[in-house]
Amino acid sequence: MRIGVLGAGQLGRMLALDGYPLAHQFVFYDMSGNPSAGLGEVMIDPGNEYLDDFLSRVDRVTYEFEHLPVSVAETMAQHKPVHPLPRALAVCQNREYEKSLFGELGIPTPQWRIAETPTQLHEAAEALGCPVVVKSTTEGYDGKGQAVLHDPDEAEEAWDGIGHPRLIVESFVPFRRELSIIAARGEDGELAFYPMAENVHSEGILRYSIAPAPQLSKTVHEDAERYIRLLMNELGYVGVLALEMFETEQGLVANEMAPRVHNSGHWSMNGATTSQFENHIRAVSGLPLGDTSARGVHCMVNIIGQHGDATDLLRLPYTHLHLYDKQARPGRKLGHINVEADSYEELVWRVRNTASFLPGSPDFHCSLTRRR
Amino acid sequence: MRIGVLGAGQLGRMLALDGYPLAHQFVFYDMSGNPSAGLGEVMIDPGNEYLDDFLSRVDRVTYEFEHLPVSVAETMAQHKPVHPLPRALAVCQNREYEKSLFGELGIPTPQWRIAETPTQLHEAAEALGCPVVVKSTTEGYDGKGQAVLHDPDEAEEAWDGIGHPRLIVESFVPFRRELSIIAARGEDGELAFYPMAENVHSEGILRYSIAPAPQLSKTVHEDAERYIRLLMNELGYVGVLALEMFETEQGLVANEMAPRVHNSGHWSMNGATTSQFENHIRAVSGLPLGDTSARGVHCMVNIIGQHGDATDLLRLPYTHLHLYDKQARPGRKLGHINVEADSYEELVWRVRNTASFLPGSPDFHCSLTRRR
């Protein structure tokens, strides 16, 4: 089967690497004009001039990247099966739609308001109680358009800084940690859930994902599975979906979802029988899903900005190196390292050792390293 | 680093799949005119007209296939590092050189003689005692040129049937089973040994490889490691080497070696921390070797001649499917399935279940299934 992938970055690359052994072929369709890590055939078509050509070369379409015009996905869906369905894209591109959908399905979120003027932003901050997190409802590629208000009087400045006509204002959620759940849904509605991951960010970039998340209560995992099942069934979803959440004293609070394979699931390449990439391709191509259970405990360490010395990293017997063949640039995801261990105690030691060979890597702080 | 691979079949394909995550790029160079399972850039050049072009595109050269002109490898080695060294090719292309090298290094082999006439063949069969196995010293691509003599008087008929001017005559070795060892040697002489595999053939084709080989004595494994170490050091070998042996009452007897990744090591893709493919690429590109130990027990089941139904196979939670994207044809290797288990008892059951979905697959008979 010929799979067309919208986007040509590292996620598409890893989808292909896990899809070739299923005898699939891949064509990447890049609208950015700057494919970063494509493998094999990449069509660069920022103006959508060669859409027919692309569609004639593929049997199914999927994406590795959600910031693409919904209309393009909808056009494609008139000719070839596109999964996940374009509606999933539309929801993920708009924080208001996303939070509304969470609410409709009974998935807890932070309290939120919409602001269309600086005055409404001021009122929302007052009503919710500062600090509040302010974001544009829709987002460009650059991840800009966010602010934290510590006082309602900062509303005007934040409004000007973000420069967007419609903002979502969220109450700040005091959380113990960030968790994510990744699940796959097949064409026949079959579901498979990966163990949850604990995610550690630094400067807005994911740095570490530990899976299965340590010290996780059964109730929390069941809640997460219920939430993501509700979302996938509602969206008629086929493929892999990621749901990012905060763990709070009152239970899980949903933050956002990604309609694709996700950085917090990269551990599954070496830690689960079937990786998230293979399961996404299985789902999209109408095949049965594979086993998602974890063997041992794992931590994914992102390689950000600088490559480090591959020789040092490869000498560590418990690591798996995954490079994306991209040029180094500050803040850019260049690859990741999957670290495996038999116990969390051993994992902490191994992750610290691994990170010591990655220049600029932040200290490994997570629920395992906190004093109790 | 840009790696040039001589040959473009499934072994090259799997080398690339495990080499891309090290940020390597691959160019395949096919002299057969009929690349079967290439991935990415394949140069088809049966007449070696574009050798310079190929060499200008790569930093290192390796091969997935040993039946290629040694002179071509030697020419390449004058311009770019070629590993394993062309001498390894020369040895593996000639059963007489191979057996002589085994003998020089003290590696046990069956007794053997060279025959250059039907009369010499008759004499050799008498001297060694029938049955004897007769093979041409050099072999074409088709694997023809073998016979078994049950009586010296069959010499003339066998001579005519093989039609080769120089034959090697080997005494028949009564063996308990066939074993192989696979090892990797780095540029700096570092060595890494995979656990040995037990190999089950049917109609001259490998069908099953079980790793680690069950009921294997420590002595036998140590002997195997010693033999392959001697070979690699003697050949200044860099990359992965496979050595096939018979297990007899008197210990191991070497059969043949392959200067490349080997079908009996495919289990390592899912069963070892670092697969044979990754370790070959690491070695050839001057990187440190990875951990070769096995997690659990494994059986590689070859998919021969017919694909079977991928959906059935993918429903089994303990299997990993690896297809080569080749057209089905009787006797052709189309893919393999890695089956994993925690115990050999469970493995036998799982392999039988897996094989039941592969049309034409022979019954699973091995040391585990024999009555004691």
Given this structure, which CATH class describes domain A111-171?
alpha beta
Q: Which of A22, A319, A326 to mutate to test the interface with B (most CBs of B within 10 A)?
A: A22
* Alpha helices (H) in B147-286, listed in sequence order: 155-162, 218-234, 268-271, 276-284
Is A200 annotated as belonging to a binding site?
Answer: no
Q: What is the pLDDT of residue A145?
A: 78
CA of B263, closest CA in chain A: separation in Å? 16
Is B134 annotated as belonging to a binding site?
Answer: no
Indicate the residue of B295, B314, B324 with minimum beta-carbon distance to A287.
Answer: B314
**What confidence tier does A372 reach under pLDDT thresholds 50, 70, 90?**
low
- In this predicted structure, the answer to whether residue A141 has a pLDDT above a threshold of 50 is no
- In this predicted structure, the answer to whether residue A305 has a pLDDT above a threshold of 60 is yes
A288 and B325 within 8 Å at the Cβ level: the answer is no
- In this predicted structure, the answer to whether residue A334 has a pLDDT above a threshold of 50 is yes
Q: What DSSP assignment string belongs to B167-206?
A: EEEEEPPP-SEEEEEEEEE-TTS-EEEPPPEEEEEETTEE
Same fold? A2-82, A111-171 = no
Q: What is the pLDDT of residue B251?
A: 96
A321 and B25 within 8 Å at the Cβ level: the answer is no
A287 and B39 within 8 Å at the Cβ level: the answer is no
The answer to whether residue A22 neighbours chain B at the CB level (below 8 Å) is yes
Q: What is the pLDDT of residue B95?
A: 95
A229's CB contacts (< 8 A; 6+ apart) are: A183, A191
Contacts of A291 in chain B (CB under 8 A): 317-318
Q: What is the pLDDT of residue B145?
A: 78
The answer to whether residue A328 neighbours chain B at the CB level (below 8 Å) is no
Given this structure, which CATH class describes domain B177-355?
alpha beta
A282 and B314 within 8 Å at the Cβ level: the answer is yes
* Annotated domain spans of chain B: 2-82, 111-171, 177-355
Q: For B201-259, how does the pLDDT look when each residue is reduced to its tens digit (9 = 90+)?
A: 998 899 999 999 999 999 999 999 999 999 999 999 999 999 999 999 999 999 999 99
Name the 3-class secondary structure at A211. Answer: strand
Q: For B319-344, how does the pLDDT look when each residue is reduced to its tens digit (9 = 90+)?
A: 999 999 999 999 999 999 999 999 99
CA of A292, closest CA in chain B: separation in Å? 9
The answer to whether residue B325 neighbours chain A at the CB level (below 8 Å) is yes
The predicted model gives B143-148 an average pLDDT of: 77
Task: Choose among A190, A327, A209: nearest CA to A262.
Answer: A209
Q: What is the pLDDT of residue B141?
A: 45
Burial of A259 (0-12, 13-18, 19+ CB in 10 A): buried
The answer to whether residue B315 neighbours chain A at the CB level (below 8 Å) is yes
Q: Which of A24, A287, A333, A336 to mutate to test the interface with B (most CBs of B within 10 A)?
A: A287
The answer to whether residue B287 neighbours chain A at the CB level (below 8 Å) is yes
Q: What is the pLDDT of residue A226?
A: 98
In this structure, the number of other CB atoms found within 10 A of the CB of residue A157 comes to 12
Q: Which of A11, A295, A307, A320 to mutate to test the interface with B (most CBs of B within 10 A)?
A: A320
B320 and A23 within 8 Å at the Cβ level: the answer is no
Is residue A176 within 8 A of residue A216, CB to CB? The reply is: no
Q: What is the pLDDT of residue A140?
A: 52
Q: For A52-75, how does the pLDDT look when each residue is reduced to its tens digit (9 = 90+)?
A: 999 999 999 999 999 889 999 999
Tokens read off for B369: 């299934």
Lowest mean pLDDT across A119-128, A141-150, A267-276:
A141-150
Beta bridge partners of A29: A6, A43
| Mean pLDDT over each residue of chain A, to the nearest integer | 95
CB contacts < 8 A, A to B, total 73
Q: For A223-232, how does the pLDDT look when each residue is reduced to its tens digit (9 = 90+)?
A: 999 999 999 9
**Cα-Cα-Cα-Cα dihedral of A101, A102, A103, A107, to 10°?**
150
ipTM: 0.93
B311 and A287 within 8 Å at the Cβ level: the answer is yes
Highest-scoring range by mean pLDDT, A30-39, A236-245, B62-71: A236-245
Q: What is the pLDDT of residue B135?
A: 93
- In this predicted structure, the answer to whether residue A12 has a pLDDT above a threshold of 90 is yes
CATH number 3.40.309.10 given to B2-82: no
CA of B316, closest CA in chain A: separation in Å? 8
A21 and B321 within 8 Å at the Cβ level: the answer is yes
